[in-house]
Amino acid sequence: MTGNSAVTTWVDECVKLCKPDKVHWCDGSDAERDMLTKMLLDRGEFQRLNEANWPNCYLYRSDPTDVARTEKVTYICSEKESDAGPTNNYLSPAQAQTDILPRYAGAMKGRTMYVIPYVMGPLGSPYSKVGFQLTDSAYVVLNMFIMARVGKRALDQLGSSADFVKGLHSIGELLPETRAICHFPERNEIWSFGSGYGGNALLGKKCHALRIASAQARREGWLAEHMLILGLENPEGKVYYIAAAFPSACGKTNLAMVIPPAALKGWRTWTVGDDIAWMRYGKDGRLYAINPEAGFFGVAPGTSAKTNLNALKTASANSIFTNVGVDENQNVWWEGLGPAPAKLTDWKGNPWTPDSPEKAAHPNSRFTTPASQCPSISPHWEDPEGVPISAILFGGRRASLVPLVVESTSWNNGVLIGASMGSEATAAATDTKAGTIRHDPMAMLPFCGYHMGDYFQHWIDMGKKVANPPKIYGVNWFRQDENGKFLWPGFGDNVRVLQWIIDRVEGKGEPSKPRLEICLANKT
């Protein structure tokens, strides 16, 4: 509980509406996490994984109709429709009140309402933001414990302030027809109903740290972006930080913890964040970024010792696996991890063999894992002032046309590169057809909490604030030849592109010959 009356008044109102049997204020302690874990194990919702290989790790199977973000029922509820813009679904606050709010009436009868105080951003950072999520899902609570800094720490950071985001979440009956995710950017409020899945239900993530925060960032003169943050250290020990936007399931987690190829002697990478960056100018005129999250919610399929060893190591303890396959010895498996075991239980709980026509893991199956466990985590990932950004990358998944890397000629030209981004849709959202190209400016199409035109203007305005904003690049690791073979090896070799970018940032003239060949090889 807290003495903050702005919080308690709102929680009381939500309790009256949802009528839970019990209200549990989360303190974020280990004992509380153990209690909730045991409860889910007892209920059969969690399955304990092999304790030797995956200590303190659990498998969770979601409702098969609730496996990805649902953009069709995601709404921006600004006072004026024109503030939501043409790319967002719009519901007026009044209409949300009449159409959506009644769904919560009595929705938590027979259930516990968990109150999760959380901080997005490093504790004590002037740039961090406090939020509260009310939820009737213990699975969501345990995910939030990994993804954000929760409990007493958040109450302490908020003190008596009324500046917090209110998130009301109920899984309802998990019916797709009653599902709705509403954002009220003017009153820092989120209502999420009918889904327990990641981006729909872990409200600190896309709902708060992107949709609400992007609107707030515009008002306050900073940027909330769908970007990883990584540091690239050269052999002389100098670290350059790069922020990079790619749509969901296009390799942000892989790039954030990429391991340089052996040929790049003396180079190493540092992970700051894999999904979201909050960036603002420091007094020195440089752009500084913090990662608002405390964990990674990564796509499992395709993750292997070859493609992302650091992610595997991170997720090998204290993690939650959602919708992956599991073998008889309680080891997880997904497509791309390695040779398939002879027998598995698939993500729906059915028997599976390598001959089965279905995939063992859902293409959008995920691991939720603490960032602090990442072998490449930067010693600066929780710096309250953030890390200084030298270059910004915009990238998509494009089989043709778009070259490996392009350098912008100016900030505004870079904004144009970001704004014209397109990418093949992935399994991260349910209502887009995987493979079809859609325009996804700055990888923010599903996450911008206001009018996209105003968003572009905000980016242009950000470029005018300082003499030397970071250089902007467009990248595409996914170009294929006429036989569908990738032209670029990707993964660790992407560091070679980053290295070239860093050279350019340092003003080191034209691309050197081998790198020019890379560009030419990618040209059809």
Active-site amino acid positions = 250
Interaction between residue 297 and ligand SAT (CB under 6 A): yes
Question: How far from 470 is each of 108, 237, 407, CA to CA, in Å?
Answer: 48, 21, 12
Q: Minimal distance in Å, beta carbon 313 to ligand SAT?
A: 21
Task: Name the closest residue to ligand SAT (Cβ).
Answer: 199
Q: Give the whole-angstrom CA distance, residue 317 versus residue 323.
A: 17
Q: Quick one: 155 or 444, whose CB is closer to ligand SAT?
A: 444
Q: Which residue's structure tokens are 């960056």?
A: 277
Q: Minimal distance in Å, beta carbon 364 to ligand SAT?
A: 8
User: Which residues ranging from 247 to 286 are in contact with ligand SAT (CB under 6 A)?
Assistant: 248
Q: Minimal distance in Å, beta carbon 248 to Mn ion?
A: 4
Q: Give the whole-angstrom CA distance, residue 127 versus residue 385.
A: 8
Element (H, E) at 331: none
Q: Which two tokens stand for residue 414?
A: 């870079």
Contact pattern for ligand SAT over residues 52 through 71, marking x by CB under 6 A: -----------------x--
61 contact choice in ligand SAT, Mn ion, none (CB below 5 to 8 Å, kind-dependent): none
Radius of gyration, CA atoms only, the chain: 22
Interaction between residue 205 and ligand SAT (CB under 6 A): yes
- How many of the chain's residues bind ligand SAT (CB under 6 A)? 8
User: Which residues ranging from 427 to 486 are in contact with ligand SAT (CB under 6 A)?
Assistant: 428
Q: Which two tokens stand for residue 305?
A: 């010792």
Bridge partners of 168, per DSSP, are 134, 191
Per CB under 6 A, the segment of 71-79, 180-188, 197-205, 489-497 that binds ligand SAT is: 197-205
User: Which residues ranging from 140 to 199 are in contact with Mn ion (CB under 5 A)?
Assistant: none
User: Quick one: which of 20, 199, 204, 474 contacts ligand SAT (CB under 6 A)?
Assistant: 199
104 phi and psi angles, rounded to 5 deg: -80, -15
Interaction between residue 214 and Mn ion (CB under 5 A): no
Q: Give the whole-angstrom CA distance, residue 516 versus residue 522.
A: 10
Q: Minimal distance in Å, beta carbon 202 to ligand SAT?
A: 6
Give the 3-state DSSP-derived string for 419-481, with helices as H, strands as E and coil as C.
Answer: HCCEEECCCCECCCCCCCEEECHHHCCCCCCCCHHHHHHHHHHHHHCCCCCCEEEEECCCCEC
Contact by Cβ (8 Å): 282, 289 = no
The CA angle 154-290-454, to the nearest 5 degrees, is 105
User: Which residues ranging from 472 to 511 are in contact with Mn ion (CB under 5 A)?
Assistant: none
Bridge partners of 387, per DSSP, are 289
Q: Give the whole-angstrom CA distance, residue 176 versus residue 439.
A: 26
User: Quick one: which of 206, 208, 397, 458 contacts ligand SAT (CB under 6 A)?
Assistant: 206
Q: Minimal distance in Å, beta carbon 64 to ligand SAT?
A: 16
User: Quick one: which of 47, 157, 248, 373 contacts Mn ion (CB under 5 A)?
Assistant: 248
Per CB under 6 A, the segment of 55-63, 81-89, 198-206, 331-339 that binds ligand SAT is: 198-206
428 contact choice in Mn ion, ligand SAT, none (CB below 5 to 8 Å, kind-dependent): ligand SAT
- How many of the chain's residues bind Mn ion (CB under 5 A)? 2
Q: Minimal distance in Å, beta carbon 198 to ligand SAT?
A: 3
Interaction between residue 275 and Mn ion (CB under 5 A): yes
Q: Give the whole-angstrom CA distance, residue 25 versus residue 38.
A: 18
Interface with ligand SAT (CB under 6 A): 69, 198-199, 205-206, 248, 297, 428
Please report, as ranges, the residues that interact with Mn ion according to CB under 5 A: 248, 275
